[in-house]
Amino acid sequence: MAWFKWEPFTPEEEHRVLHAISEAELNTSGEIRVHIDKWCKTDPVFKACNVFDELEMGKTDGRNAVLFYVAKKEKKFAVIGDVGIDQVVPDDFWNSTKNIMTRSFAKGDIVGGVCEGIHEVGAQLKKYFPYESDDTNELPDEISYG
């Protein structure tokens, strides 16, 4: 049996997402990761929380990591942040990001929706976790696949 890595994004699409992450992280000390699954057999927020833990995203100094979780085939997604973010942002903080992504996903533009969501999160987090000149990149800027 041959093993393969399921990669739903083309190299160009991956580049667009990674570029969006690096641009967004210039606005904030927050850390952003993207995880893509083919299917999500459960609630996407529940799955995102599990992936967040698997990727050890709760280990940032400011507890200010954000995970974009997308089940591509089903167009299910979740955007979750660590406790440091949830302690300081208003209850409706994630709504603008979710709305932007939902509009793009409805048009079939998964990559565009992810990129727009990343830009929105970077702009929004700037208020609470501004970029500092001595910031270090605590999490790898990469896309993980399930």
- Summarize pLDDT for 5-36 with one digit per residue, the tens: 556 889 999 999 999 999 999 999 999 999 99
- Cα–Cα separations (whole angstroms), residue 91 to 36, 62, 82, 128, 137: 26, 19, 14, 14, 27
pLDDT in tens, 108-144: 899 999 999 999 999 999 999 999 888 888 998 899 9
- The CATH fold assigned to 11-133 is Diaminopimelate Epimerase; Chain A, domain 1 (3.10.310)
Q: Per-domain residue ranges for the chain?
A: 11-133
Burial of 61 from C-beta contacts in 10 A (0-12 / 13-18 / 19+)? exposed
Average pLDDT over residues 96-105: 94
pLDDT at 2 > cutoff 80: no
pLDDT at 1: 45
Q: What is the pTM of this model?
A: 0.92
Give the pLDDT confidence score for residue 144 in this predicted structure: 94
pLDDT digits (tens, 9 = 90+) for 60-98: 999 999 999 999 888 799 999 999 999 999 888 999 999
